[in-house]
Structure 1
Amino acid sequence: MNNQNKPQQVGQRLPMWTSRAVALFFTLFLLSESTIANVKGYGLEIAQQPVPAPSVPLSADKQQLYQDAVKLVEEGKELRKKGTREGYLQAIEKYQQALKILEEIGLRAEQASIYQTIGVVYFTLSEYPEALKYFDQYLNISRELKLPILEGAALFHIAQVYSRTGKPREALTLLKQAESIFRTEKIFDAVAGALITTASIYTGLGEIPQTLEPLNKALQIYRDTLKDLPQQAIVLNQIGFSYSQMGEPKTALKYYEQALEIQQTRQDLLPVQANTLKNIGSVHYQLGKHNEALDYLNKARNIQQAHSLFVDEGSTVQTIGDIYVSQGDYQKALEFHKEARILFQKGGNQSLESMGIGRIISIYKNYLGDNENALKFINESLALDTNSGDKERYARTMNQQADIKASQGDYQKALEICNQTLEIARSTKNKNLEADTFRNMASIYELLGNYDLSAKTYKQALQIYRQIPDKPFELMLLPLIANLYMTKEDYPEAIHYYNQTLSLSKEQNNDRFQTLGLMGLARIYELQKDFPNALKNAEILLALSQKLGDKYSEIGAMNLIGIIHKSKGDYKESLNFHRKALLQSKAMGLLKTEAQSLNNISVTHSLEKEYQQAIDTLNEELQIRRELKDTQGEADALYSIAKNQRKLKNLETALTNIDSAIKIVENIRTNVQNPDLRTSYFATVQNYYKFKINLLMELHKKHPSKGYNAQAIETSEASRARGLVELLTEARANIRKGANPELLAQENRLQDLINAKEKIRFEIINSDKIKNPVLKANADKLQTEIDELLNQQKQLETKIRQSNPKYANLKYPQPLKLAQIQQQLDKDSLLLQYSLGEERSFLWVVSPTSLDTYELPKKSEIEKASINLFCLISQNSSKPPSATGKENPCQDTKNIKTGRIDLAAEELSKLVLAPVKDKLGKKRLVVVADGALQYIPFAALADLTAQPTSQLGKDKLPTSAEVTSSDNRGGGLIPEIDNLPPATNSNYQPLFINHEIVNLPSASTIAI
């Protein structure tokens, strides 16, 4: 019995290290420096007590050693009061010396206290792995001595470390245990401390509404049980912060004002009052009241400076920097953010220093376009995060790195980084970080032209933000989704999301995001030629931006108004607004908006036929794009320069520039390892190739003997063959042979999951079960899960490619040149290769010994005739694959010029075969189609050289099965053509009567 009581007696004899005061010391973690310095009962009173007696009787020599240890502890405390990293490290040295003495004389309880104290200091320095080592020792001794209060404190400490090292859910579990111990022991301020820390972890997870319950419980303890006014003020501040994060600044302000009212009644609470003043300033900033915000923030800073509260002052200075960002004064903002970083360094807080660097990165990356400096600071931040062991902070910094890589055209690297951050988010169960990463990935998919995958990924992020819920981040995401739909030309969906942006921004009192909603709506109205509504929204946007002092949005508004006037044909007014935007961009050092403004000016000059002025302006833009290392922007500028040079008849110079542009986009494409994304990106730059083909054919007219027509067909071949050749080569290479076995096993597991879920879903949707609302909902849920698994499968395929040395060394064959194509043809074959263009189309006819070129009507005329024939063949049962939008053109009678298949076939034949009808003879025709022609069975086209048929000939007209078998496409691209409408024109004879038809997606596939 005596042995059982002994640990408790030891604890009671140590006012410095155990008992209530020691157990409560852990709550220092919750507080700012100002709070630590002023809250009663949290350490300062302990430091002022007489030297405590040791926990066990000591001999005289050991008593002297004990006194030496106590002295070292006191010296360590004094060093910590400096509030600097140097002071903290010096304090650790003192504590470690004391620890050695205590180990020598065998005082376990006192050792526990030193382990705790050293852990606290390492935690303050954000050196979490080191802190955890000491807290684990503290926990072991507390259990060894059977001291529950100390055990609760140790669990609390470890939870704090877990919360910073990617284990927030584990931290919440430990806090529950600690809270339970403290309730049992009736240590109510410790209970409140555990509740407050629980709330802080939910804040870190982005689950802000979850913070309110523990905070209100803590507030009730301080009000009703402990009657502790200073702590009430602290919790009121934290509740206010939660409401601020939830997008309810006015509610937040009420709580902050309650806290300030308490703190102003006591002079000793002046330092913590500074924190409240800072919070009130932040709310005024959130409400767009910058002058009031700066007034409160400067009051807070004066107090913090007077008390050498470096970390608190750094936080205040950081908010001042944010205000200057919103006002567009980026250089001043950088000064404040760099000053904040120095203050965090002085305070020894690596975690806040890393977060501060994140703001510096954002300014360089998002506003100044200075990616070089941004990457420099990213590397510094990653080093800090690695040192501190803060996985989540590390992942957020990596997301910024991915954003820069994407802006530089290195989409593959950007996606690799995002996949790493996604793994961290999922391993730490941080839903907010997961959503942020999805948002980043969606923007990369959009840049790669995979709009469906982009929309799906954006919506995954949106679903998470709404589940949390996280209104501010939802508000950030909505305009991105809207902009994607605008790019897809799905204007109703775009308007839907922009209206959601406006509605939520008003609900959240966030004028800044109202600007994004207004900008998007104005742009959509402009694209739809609704100029009055476009100008109305753009002018409201301009006025709001000026009212907010948001220079960045103001520049965007001026450029937008310029675009609207340009679309109206008012070029003078357009130039006026674009030049204003350019001047403001230059004045603020905003290279990205300067480049965009120059681009807008060049477009206006080009429309006014001032081509040389357009070129001069584009050369200025080109210089900036290169400075920014914006490779896609550089390629676009070169393409625009080439277009204007062509207008001036500088064809050779234009060819040089478009070649440079194509070289850039091909480099971007080859860096992307996912074949689907390679293909989608390549589709977004097809206009480069079409332009080059037109240019080469124009040069061919001018210089028929220089082989430009051969270059033109080779360019056409390059534009369609690369992706297909790569896919076929990869298929032959067997990328799975030699790949990482773990990845292959993971792929098999994924496929098994997909098969199992698809089987269940199939059983539901193909039976009466689908009528059951619950089962139908389950089927929908299964489809969502299957889609997610398929997405994971695609990502895994990319990893398998990366892990396979055979794949890494794979050499892709290049698209065939003309001579190589001719080598693949025999004397009885002709290659017909088409390229449809906006102004004109082209046909190249290749034999083993010759190349002939023909100019055909423009794309729109050929598409109309193609759609007519397609609809008749398919009996209006399907939509032409080349058709865009949601409507089926086959359902619109204006697209059906004739209801007779023979006439429709003859009309299309006259457009695409008439120039070469006399060259065809009875040769085998190898057809490489383009655009809408890809979905037409050439076997059904009319043979324009056929003689009028007799009644016997009519009886031998082809059946639909014969047409299908004659048109050897090898890909299932043609529509079902059973029950063809009767052909009544006695002159109609399909091509396949006299020709074998071979359809290929690319001439280069002949050689594979």
Structure 2
Amino acid sequence: MKIAELRPATDEDRSRYSAQELVARVSQLGDPENATTPTRRQMIEKYQAALVIWRKLNDRKGELDTLSRIGGVNNYFDRPQALENFNQALALARAIGDPWGEESILENLAEVLSGMGEIFESLEAYEQSLAIARELKDHVGERLGLYGIALIYLNLGEAQQALDYNYQLLAVTRPSDSRDLLLHSLCKNHLLLGEPQSALDYCQQALSVWRAMDRRLFEAATLSYIGNAYSLLGEPRKELEYYNQALKIFREVEELNGEGSMLNSIGRIYQAQGEQQRALECFEQALVLFRKIPNAQAESITKRLIGEVYWSLGDGEKAVDYFNQALSRQRSLKDHSNEAATLLDMARAESDLGQLNQARADIETALSIVESLSAKVTSLDLRASYLATKREYYEFYIDLLMRFDSRRPDAGYAAQAFQTSERARARSLVDSLTEARIDSHQEVAAVLIARERTLKQQLSFNSNRLTQLLGSQHTPEEAATAQQAIDALLRSYAAVEADIRIENPRYASLAQPEALNLREVQTKLLDQDTLLLEYSLGEARSFVWAVTPTSIISFELPKRSVIEASARRAYELLTARSRSAPNERPEQKQKRVGLADEEYPRAAAELSRMLLGPVASQLGSKRLLIVAEGALQYVPFAALPLPDSSQSSVVSRSTTDNGPRTTDNYIPLIVDHEIVSLPSASVLAALRQETSSRSPATRAVAVLADPVFSRDDSRVPGSRAGRTVPASDQSLPADVVRSAEESGLKDFVRLRFSRAEADAIAALVPDSQRLEAVDFVA
């Protein structure tokens, strides 16, 4: 062992110590995330003093570290300066060959760019950081990169792309890793997909983590997501409560982006409650903050919200001006999700101003964007959730087309409105049926399907990037390189499609099904004895189309709230005997059911006049295909009285032990009509296509009834007979539990008379032509 003699300190040693001492003093001031602006300025001053020393010493490592620290503090209150700091640091890291420093700086640079609304530049920085992290096998850096990219896609409204990166994040998360980032990202992901309950579950878990870690910014962001979830659940009081909690934290830590976002969210609540002036005050405060940061994306969203207020106040011209400002910025940012929302607002304002042709062009563009984004969501359940949140786009377009129809009844606008209704409701349903017919595991290698999906996503992203490049300053070489990347992807995609067609020719024809147009519905689904009634409910007015093989006639109906209130009333009265009230005695139930039986004819007559009265002249004795929507899907149309009998149907019905007895003047629709209920006309076509190549069934009827749900059923030897089986009973099959939850069932009560019904149905055909499954077999 050699012991070196302690040498006297040099001027360089003293300078180095001074720089390190300055950095140490900054750490004593706390975390910049939770600090006030004056404290952050103190941090910057000390770091700047240290930076001067490192540069005098020509210590490039020290300079790099301090530049990064300065950028990290500036990110909380001066993002343009933070951008300059990190760009200087990035150039230095590359000059001295420090890949670890380069990775970290790119990640921080991406965060700054995202906060400034420079979405694609941020995405590029995250991708570079992620590539370096994987090369260095930096597990933490890889997780941060995946998390950052997922958030970028969420901000772009690309829910499926975000979910893909979240799944990658989940795959690399080790048991020992904190799941904070994953929970945070999944929370926002499920909000975008229109799944508030799932989002709440993730948010509550994330909130506990952030509070335990004293990460106040993440806590505030999660509180805002919880508010968003309650917004989707229709609970404005809870929504406002969580937004105010988040706003308080954002203001305390002086986080301008978060403060502006919360002001916008609170303004939206005031706007929905009709307090337009309070809403405008919130939005204008937010606009000042976003301009100060600056955050181009958030500024564009706020301008749209201000436009909405002016539209509500009746100032359509001023509204359109704000919408145009927002739209211009969103298109330059390639912010397609918000572009669609602005186009919808623009179309509504133009419609009010009488500019119907321009309104039509804008809503058609908006719908094209919405459907393009939904097509990228590979999960059918998630795609259905996403489209459900975009129903208002279709409703407005249908209403607009019907306005055109009222002006020019023979121009085919009613047919276009009907086709839009089919397009809205059939898309995800037909996709589901189609996918059910594709056995990719047996007929097409799963790796080919996955490769096809990945190439579609890469093509979409690279096309967007090329469009952005061509819209900015670029060299011919840069444009050529971007186009070559797309051409290579197209060649790969064509090769994969060829391989899929070789393995399964059916897949290519089924993978992109379309809703039927009017002519296809008339020729493929209807005959002279069949009438299609398709309902579309809207906020201001609703419609029904009566379609035969040779004609289509449209009728205007009351608005959604009126129809759904009447439908719910009729449904509640009709199902009164099958429901039990808490602590209700037998005589109380009998009285309640008796009152319901007396009131039902009036309620059913009212609903019948509303829904069937306008089309009464079209009914004849035809088979009726009924495509309902919303609360109408709960209505058993077969039990509604015929429209022409609804005046006399208000005579009360008597009640027997076996249920309601209909008097002669109450004629249910099913007496004169065969009733077929459908989620959409296109679904019927998909079902027919599925069965077209199927061998005919060997028997005429299959009856399943009166199953045994649990070991406590009286039919089980030694059972504890009489115990009601809760729908959540874990001993039940998972599909049964799921179905019960979706139907709102709390328990499974044996339906004893279903056995008699099954026997009666089975008796209609010979033994050789039937299958009857009851008891344990069912």
8 Å contact 1:399–1:418 — kept in the other structure?
yes
Partner of 2:113: 364
Residue deviations 1:144-170 (CA, integer Å, cap 9, x gap) = xxxxxxxxxxxxxxxxxxxxxxxxxxx
Tell me which residue corresponds to 1:395.
143
Query: Displacement of 1:958 after TM fit?
Result: 12
Q: Which residue of 1 aligns with 2:177?
A: 431
- The equivalences for 1:916-995 within 5 A come to 916-946=615-645, 980-983=659-662, 986-995=664-673
Amino acid at match of 1:718: R
Report how far residue 319 of structure 1 moved: 3.0
* Change in CA separation of 1:859 and 1:494 when aligned onto 2, cut-off 3 Å: closer
**Structure 2 equivalent of residue 326 of structure 1:** 76
From 504, 511, 531, the counterpart of 1:811 = 511
Determine which of 731, 736, 753 is the counterpart of 2:441: 736
Partner of 1:314: 64
Q: CA deviation at 1:707?
A: 0.5
Distance 1:488 1:606, change over 3 A: same
User: Which residues of 2 match residues 660-671 of structure 1 at below 5 A?
Assistant: 660-671=365-376
The DSSP-based 3-state class of the residue aligned with 1:815 is coil
Change (3 A) 1:637 1:416: same
Q: What TM-score, normalized to structure 2?
A: 0.71
From 198, 202, 212, the equivalent of 1:457 is 202
1:421 aligns with 2:421: no
| Residues 1:1007 and 2:685 are matched in the alignment | yes
Q: Distance in 1 between matches of 2:240 and 2:27?
A: 36
CA shift for structure 1 position 875: 1.4
Structure 2 letter corresponding to 1:454: A
Q: How does 1:171-570 map to 2 (within 5 A)?
A: 269-270=17-18, 272-283=20-31, 286-288=34-36, 289-327=39-77, 329-345=78-94, 348-365=97-114, 367-426=115-174, 429-432=175-178, 434-462=179-207, 473-474=218-219, 476-491=221-236, 494=239, 514-516=248-250, 550-553=255-258, 555-556=260-261
Gaps in structure 1 of 5+ consecutive residues: 1-14, 17-40, 49-82, 84-262, 503-512, 517-540, 745-800, 880-889, 960-977
Note closer, same or farther for the CA distance 1:992–1:573 as it changes in structure 2 (3 Å cut).
closer
Change beyond 3 A, Cα 1:272–1:590:
closer
Residue identity opposite 1:409 in structure 2: G
1:735 Cα deviation (Å)? Answer: 3.1
Name the amino acid aligned to 1:988. Answer: Y
- Residue in 1 that maps onto 2:695: none
| 1: CA distance, partners of 2:276 / 2:243 | 28
Q: Provide the aligned length of Structure 1 versus Structure 2.
A: 614
Q: 1:283 to 1:299 in 2, by over 3 A?
A: farther
**Which of 414, 418, 424 pairs up with 1:719?**
424
The answer (yes or no) to whether the contact 2:624–2:673 under 8 Å persists in 1 is yes
The answer for the alignment partner of 2:307 in structure 1 is 602
| Alpha-carbon distance in 2 for matches of 1:726, 1:662 | 18
Q: Residues 122-201 of structure 1: matches in 2 within 5 Å?
A: none
Instruction: Identify if the C-alpha distance between structure 1 residues 661 and 495 changes in structure 2 by more than 3 Å, giving closer, same or farther.
Output: closer
Amino acid at match of 2:177: K
CA shift, 1:490, in A, is 3.2
d(CA) in 1 for partners of 2:213 and 2:265?
35
Alignment deviations for residues 816-840 of structure 1 (CA, whole Å, 9 cap, x no partner)? 1111111121111111111111111
For 1:685 and 1:947, how far apart are their aligned partners in 2? Answer: 36
Query: Whole-Å Cα distance in 1 between the matches of residues 32 and 187 of structure 2?
Result: 33
Alignment of 1:817-832 (within 5 A): 817-823=517-523, 824-832=525-533
Q: 1:268 to 1:641 in 2, by over 3 A?
A: closer
Cα deviation for residue 558 of structure 1 reads: 6.3
The alignment status of 1:907 with 2:657, answered yes or no, reads no
Coordinate RMSD, CA, aligned = 3.9
CA shift at 1:412, angstroms? 2.0
Q: How does 1:723-872 map to 2 (within 5 A)?
A: 723-738=428-443, 810-823=510-523, 824-872=525-573
Greater gyration radius: 1
Distance 2:389 2:577 in 1: 29
1:316 to 1:809, Cα distance in 2 relative to 1, 3 A: farther
The match for 2:388 is 683
CA contact (8 A) 2:542 2:557 kept: yes
Q: After superposition, give the CA deviation of every residue in 1:6-32 in whole Å (9 maximum; x if it has no partner).
A: xxxxxxxxx48xxxxxxxxxxxxxxxx
Counterpart-to-counterpart distance in 1, 2:134 and 2:406: 63
Name 1:757's counterpart in structure 2: none
| Matched letter for residue 551 of structure 2 | S
CA-to-aligned-CA distance 1:116-135 (integer Å, 9 cap, x gap): xxxxxxxxxxxxxxxxxxxx
Aligned in 2, Cα 1:321/1:876: closer, same or farther, shift over 3 Å? farther
Q: Is the 8 A contact 1:863 1:932 kept in 2?
A: yes
CA displacement 1:177-218 (0-9 Å, x = unmatched): xxxxxxxxxxxxxxxxxxxxxxxxxxxxxxxxxxxxxxxxxx
Match of 2:643, SS state, is coil
C-alpha separation between the residues in 2 aligned to 1:314 and 1:675?
Answer: 48
1:620 aligns with 2:620: no
**CA distance 1:46–1:443, shift in 2 (3 Å):** farther
Residue 999 of structure 1 aligns to a residue whose secondary structure is: strand
Offset at 1:451? 1.9
State the AA in 1 paired with 2:631: A
C-alpha change, 1:830 and 1:319, in structure 2 (3 Å) is same
**Alignment partner, residue 26 of structure 1:** none
Q: Matches of 1:564 and 1:728 in 2, distance apart?
A: 39
Q: Secondary structure at the match of 2:553?
A: strand
Q: Report the alpha carbon displacement of residue 474 of structure 1 after superposing the two structures with TM.
A: 5.0
1:649 correspondence with 2:348: no
Which amino acid in the other structure matches residue 558 of structure 2? P
- Paired with 1:624 and 1:693, the residues of 2 have a C-alpha distance of 28
TM-score (norm 1): 0.55
Inter-partner Cα distance in structure 2 for 1:937 and 1:906: 13
- Higher share of residues assigned helix: 1
- Amino acid aligned to 1:374: S
CA displacement 1:807-859 (0-9 Å, x = unmatched): 67743321111111111211111111111111111111111111111111111
Cα contact 1:844–1:854 (8 A) shared by 2: yes
Contact 1:843-1:854 at 8 Å conserved across structures: yes
* CA deviation after TM superposition for structure 1 residue 295, in Å: 3.4
Q: Distance in 1 between matches of 2:197 and 2:91?
A: 45
Change (3 A) 1:664 1:47: farther
Q: Percent identity?
A: 31
Q: Which of 692, 696, 720 lines up with 2:397 in the alignment? A: 692
Post-superposition offset of 1:468: 8.0
What's the offset of the Cα at 1:403?
A: 1.9
SS of residue paired to 2:626:
strand
Cα deviation per residue 1:972-991 (whole Å; 9 max; x = unaligned)? xxxxxx964455x6521111
Deviation of 1:999 (Å): 0.7
Q: SS where residue 833 of structure 1 aligns?
A: strand
CA–CA separation in structure 1 for the residues paired with 2:129 and 2:398: 48
In structure 2, the residue corresponding to 1:852 is in which secondary structure?
A: strand
Out of 724-733 and 870-879, give the one that drifted further: 870-879
Distance 2:276 2:229 in 1: 28
Answer with 446-455 or 803-812: which moved more: 803-812
Assess if the C-alpha contact under 8 Å between 1:579 and 1:601 holds in 2. yes
Distance 1:475 1:709, change over 3 A: closer
The 2-side partners of 1:294 and 1:730 are apart by 57
